[in-house]
Amino acid sequence: MKITRISTHKVDLPMKEGAYSWGGQSFAAFDTTVVIVETDAGITGVGESCPLGPAYLPAYAQGVRSGIETLAPALIGADPRQTDAIYALMDRHLRGHPYIKSALDMAFWDILGKSVDLPCYMLLGGLLNPRVKLFKVLSRQDPDAMVARLREYQAQGFRKYQIKVGDDANTDIERIEAILAARAPGNIFAADANTTWAMHDAMRVVGATKGMDYYLEQPCLTYEECLSIRKHATQPMILDECMDSIDMLIRGRNDSAMDQVNLKINRLGGLTKARQFRDLCVSFGIYMTIEDAWGGEIATAAIAHLAHSTPEAMRVVGATQGMDYYMEQPCLTYEECLSIRRHCDQPMILDECMDSIGMLMRGRADSAMDQVNVKINRLGGLTKARQFRDLCVEFGVYMTIEDAWGGEIATAAIAHLAHSTPEAFHSQSSAFHEYTDLVIADGGPEISDGTMAAANAPGLGVTPRMDVLGDAVFSTA
């Protein structure tokens, strides 16, 4: 299959609600470019790129059309189904300018899907997300008008909202307070300054809304400024405008700079690059908003296909600031938990990532936790668990002593290790055998008044019930 013709079309997209306003900008319509790619197989692909005005990002509408005109001669005769190969061809003939390539790349994926009679989401990873959750933008207005608009959207069934701020800090604080006061159950909010706050204004807003339950989205222009604000905010941080490449994603992850990113297809250069960015976010465990700068049905279809093929998967810390509870292993990795630790005022317990003495040493050096969960089988048995326990006592680290699960035998081992641990360093333990009616051994720890005690007998003090255990799965002699 070969490309035979590339055409572009200019369309103005008017705003239903009169205007779309953020930061210091407001538009009644946006200029979008639609590209049509024809092939010798009779299959036609469509794509779209719509910069959000000429001053939001380094992109403008006329530039899309001019760039496609520049690229088109080099693409005639190429096979659009070979998405990575044709992207490399675009890169050879036009360095940078991903927002221009986005419309073409979208059209190439459209052709690929049509050529194999499959929706694009099947080619992007499969249907992992059958219904794509939407958010509504509360365009910047007076606080009362924004609350009125919120009520309309709530009545329509929306649950996720983006509060456009980035104006005067005092009014932005009023906007956030008024809208959060109108929250309905299940509503999730992000306050998005679209890079327009100066750092001192961002700090004022963060301080005035400390402990309120919302996401803080790209408060300042540069990554470095946002990272500085991140270190002072209790709200989860979303990075948007500065997340323009895989390099920036990796940098943000290494710096623990964000809890979520906004993935905009045309900013990254189309579905090919957006898919790579998306897949890394999934590998890193980073939550995503999948969208584009703006657009009509074509751009929205591309968003939907990428979102459909994305798995569904830290609002708690900000909402519960000052409440009296322990925060236990909130995230998968040690690095993620360490980032949360720096933003919460609850004592931190680390559990699943505490799988070796090396990790205990690392956690102590980073002041990453106030307590650890010692699981015997995760560490490799009583010998290793005793070594881990003894270091905790030496370091002054409080412990829960337990195991992943088990019956009377595993619980007896827990009890013996806990009995031999100084009481000042023992928080609690689990008696797993009380959770089941099946008894696999006699002599399990005795339970009363919320405590347990191991049998005063040699060894673990338990005798297996061989009639319950049944025949051996294998036996060697």
The residues assigned a catalytic role are 164, 264
One-letter amino acid at 239 equals L
CB-hemisphere CA count at 13 Å for 450?
2
List strands edge to edge, sheet with 327-328.
Answer: 327-328, 348-350, 371-375, 398-402, 426-429
Q: Which residue has the tokens 């309309």?
A: 152
Task: Tell me which long-range contacts 323-331 makes (C-beta under 8 A, separation of at least 24).
Answer: 326/370, 326/371, 328/373, 329/353, 329/373, 331/285
**Does residue 334 contact residue 315 with C-beta atoms inside 8 Å?**
no
Name the β-bridge partners of 136.
161
Of 189, 199, 245, the closest CA to residue 226 belongs to: 199
Encoded tokens for 198: 């100066």
Helices (H), ranges, 350-436: 357-365, 376-379, 382-395, 408-419
**Does residue 238 contact residue 217 with C-beta atoms inside 8 Å?**
yes
How far apart CA 216 and CA 194 sit, in angstroms, is: 10
Encoded tokens for 138: 């509360």
One-letter amino acid at 400 equals T
Backbone dihedral region for residue 74 (phi beyond 0: left; psi -120 to 50: alpha; all else: beta): alpha
User: What phi and psi values does residue 70 have, to the nearest 5 degrees?
Assistant: -70, -40
Encoded tokens for 5: 């013709």
How far apart CA 266 and CA 283 sit, in angstroms, is: 22
Encoded tokens for 191: 């306050």
* Helix or strand holding residue 164 (H, E): strand 160-164
**Does residue 305 contact residue 112 with C-beta atoms inside 8 Å?**
no
Of 444, 373, 391, 446, the closest CA to residue 413 belongs to: 444
Encoded tokens for 313: 């998967």
How far apart CA 30 and CA 40 sit, in angstroms, is: 33
Cα–Cα distances in Å, from 47 out to 5, 8, 10, 94? 14, 9, 12, 18
**Does residue 305 contact residue 120 with C-beta atoms inside 8 Å?**
yes
Q: Which residue has the tokens 């003495």?
A: 357
